[in-house]
Structure 1
Amino acid sequence: MQPPREIPGFYYDPEKKKYFKILPHHAAPTAAFHTNTSIAEKNREKRRIEDLNSLTLHRAKRTRRTPLKANPCIRATLYRELTGDRSAEAIRSIYARGLQRKVVWEADPGVKLSAFTTHTQADGTEFCIIGTVAGDVRLSPLVKKKEGELQVNMRESDQIIHGRSQISSVSVNSQGLVMATFMGGPNRPPAIYCHWHPSTSSDILHPGPALFGFNRNHNITSVWTSAASPNPQGDLVLGTNQGAVHIEVRPWNLEQTFQPIKSDVFAVSFLPNDPNPYLTGSRDGDIRIFDIRAGRDNRPVVMFRHGGPVTHIRNLAQNRIIVNGLQRCASYDLRYPHKKGPSANFGATSRAMRDYGQVGGEGSSLGLGFDVDVKRGLMVVAQQDGWVNLRSLETGEKIPSPLAKNRWDGLCKGLRFDEGEVARVWGIEQRWVVAFDY
Structure 2
Amino acid sequence: MVRDIAGFYYDAERKKYFKIQPNHAGPGQQHSSQVIKQKESANKRRKIIHDHRTREARETISRSRLLTHPLLGRLSLRNQLGQTAGRCLPLHPSEDVAAYYAAGLSESLLCESSETLPGFAVDEKNGAIIFARSNQDNIGSDTLHCMRSVGPGRYSGISPVFEAMSDSFVDMSISVLARKLFYVSSGPIGSRVVLLEVPREEDDPHFRMMDQVWTCNDETAWQTAVSPTGQFFAIASSEGLTHYRMVPSHLMGTSMWVARQKPAVAEYMAVAFGQNDRIIMGGRRTGEITFFDERTNGFVTRLRHADAVSAIALVDDNRIVARGLQTMSLYDLRYTKRPSKKEVESKIATAPYRTFQWENSSLKFRLGFDYSSELGIIATGSSKAMSSNHLLPNHHQTIDLFSVRTGKKLRSLPLSTAHHTQAATCIKFSRIRSTLRPNSELRIIDNEPLSLLASSEGRILEWSCQGDEMAGSDSDAE
Give the TM-score taking structure 1 as reference length: 0.69
CA distance in structure 2 between the aligned counterparts of 1:389 and 1:306, rounded to whole angstroms: 21
Q: Which one has more relative contact order, counting CA pairs under 8 Å at least 6 apart?
A: 2
Q: In the TM superposition, what whole-angstrom CA distance separates every residue of 1:376-396 from its partner, at most 9, and x where no partner exists?
A: 232222113312222222232
Within the candidate set 89, 112, 126, 2:116 is matched to 112
1:333–1:198 distance in 2 versus 1, CA, 3 Å: same
Task: Report what 1:230 is aligned to.
Answer: 228
Task: Report what 1:18 is aligned to.
Answer: none
Q: Displacement, 1:197?
A: 1.1
CA distance in structure 1 between the aligned counterparts of 2:189 and 2:212, rounded to whole angstroms: 13
Q: Displacement, 1:220?
A: 4.6
CA distance in structure 1 between the aligned counterparts of 2:97 and 2:174, rounded to whole angstroms: 32
User: What is the identity, as a one-letter code, of the residue corresponding to 2:105?
Assistant: L
Equivalent residues of 1:339, 1:345 under 8 A apart? no
Within the candidate set 403, 416, 419, 2:415 is matched to 403
1:255–1:153 distance in 2 versus 1, CA, 3 Å: same
Q: In the TM superposition, what whole-angstrom CA distance separates every residue of 1:66-101 from its partner, at most 9, and x where no partner exists?
A: xxxxxxxxxx9xx99xxxx9x944543333222111
CA distance in structure 2 between the aligned counterparts of 1:331 and 1:139, rounded to whole angstroms: 35
- Matching of residues 50-129 of structure 1 within 5 Å: 88-107=94-113, 109=114, 111-121=115-125, 125-129=126-130
Within the candidate set 118, 136, 149, 2:143 is matched to 136
1:302 correspondence with 2:306: no
1:208–1:371 distance in 2 versus 1, CA, 3 Å: closer
1:161–1:337 distance in 2 versus 1, CA, 3 Å: farther
Task: Report what 2:236 is aligned to.
Answer: 239
SS of structure 2 residue aligned to 1:129: strand
Q: Displacement, 1:200?
A: 7.3
Same amino acid, percent of matched pairs? 19
1:200–1:318 distance in 2 versus 1, CA, 3 Å: farther
1:213 correspondence with 2:213: yes
Task: Report what 1:61 is aligned to.
Answer: none
Task: Report what 1:389 is aligned to.
Answer: 400
CA distance in structure 2 between the aligned counterparts of 1:380 and 1:280, rounded to whole angstroms: 20
Equivalent residues of 2:170, 2:223 under 8 A apart? yes
- Matching of residues 310-389 of structure 1 within 5 Å: 310-342=309-341, 347-357=347-357, 359-384=358-383, 385=395, 386-389=397-400
Q: Displacement, 1:176?
A: 0.9
CA distance in structure 1 between the aligned counterparts of 2:130 and 2:421, rounded to whole angstroms: 21
User: What is the identity, as a one-letter code, of the residue corresponding to 2:258?
Assistant: E
User: What is the identity, as a one-letter code, of the residue corresponding to 2:103?
Assistant: R
Q: In the TM superposition, what whole-angstrom CA distance separates every residue of 1:243-299 from its partner, at most 9, and x where no partner exists?
A: 11111113353211232645421111111x3221110011110111111223xxx33
Equivalent residues of 1:139, 1:160 under 8 A apart? no
Q: In the TM superposition, what whole-angstrom CA distance separates every residue of 1:188-213 from its partner, at most 9, and x where no partner exists?
A: 42101221011079xxxxx9414523
Equivalent residues of 1:391, 1:399 under 8 A apart? no
CA distance in structure 1 between the aligned counterparts of 2:457 and 2:210, rounded to whole angstroms: 28
Q: Displacement, 1:340?
A: 4.8
Could you tell me which runs of 5 or more consecutive residues in structure 1 were left unpaired when the two chains were aligned. Answer: 1-75, 202-206
CA distance in structure 2 between the aligned counterparts of 1:244 and 1:383, rounded to whole angstroms: 27
Equivalent residues of 1:190, 1:222 under 8 A apart? yes
CA distance in structure 1 between the aligned counterparts of 2:282 and 2:243, rounded to whole angstroms: 11
Task: Report what 2:198 is aligned to.
Answer: 197
CA distance in structure 1 between the aligned counterparts of 2:298 and 2:336, rounded to whole angstroms: 16
User: What is the identity, as a one-letter code, of the residue corresponding to 1:131?
Assistant: A
CA distance in structure 2 between the aligned counterparts of 1:266 and 1:329, rounded to whole angstroms: 15
CA distance in structure 2 between the aligned counterparts of 1:291 and 1:409, rounded to whole angstroms: 41
SS of structure 1 residue aligned to 2:101: helix
1:230–1:95 distance in 2 versus 1, CA, 3 Å: closer
Q: Displacement, 1:428?
A: 0.4
1:400–1:208 distance in 2 versus 1, CA, 3 Å: closer
Task: Report what 1:259 is aligned to.
Answer: 262
- Matching of residues 262-277 of structure 1 within 5 Å: 262-271=265-274, 273-277=275-279
1:434 correspondence with 2:461: yes
CA distance in structure 1 between the aligned counterparts of 2:102 and 2:367, rounded to whole angstroms: 21
Q: Displacement, 1:363?
A: 2.7
Larger Rg: 1
Could you tell me which runs of 5 or more consecutive residues in structure 2 were left unpaired when the two chains were aligned. Answer: 1-59, 69-76, 78-93, 135-140, 384-394, 432-445, 466-478
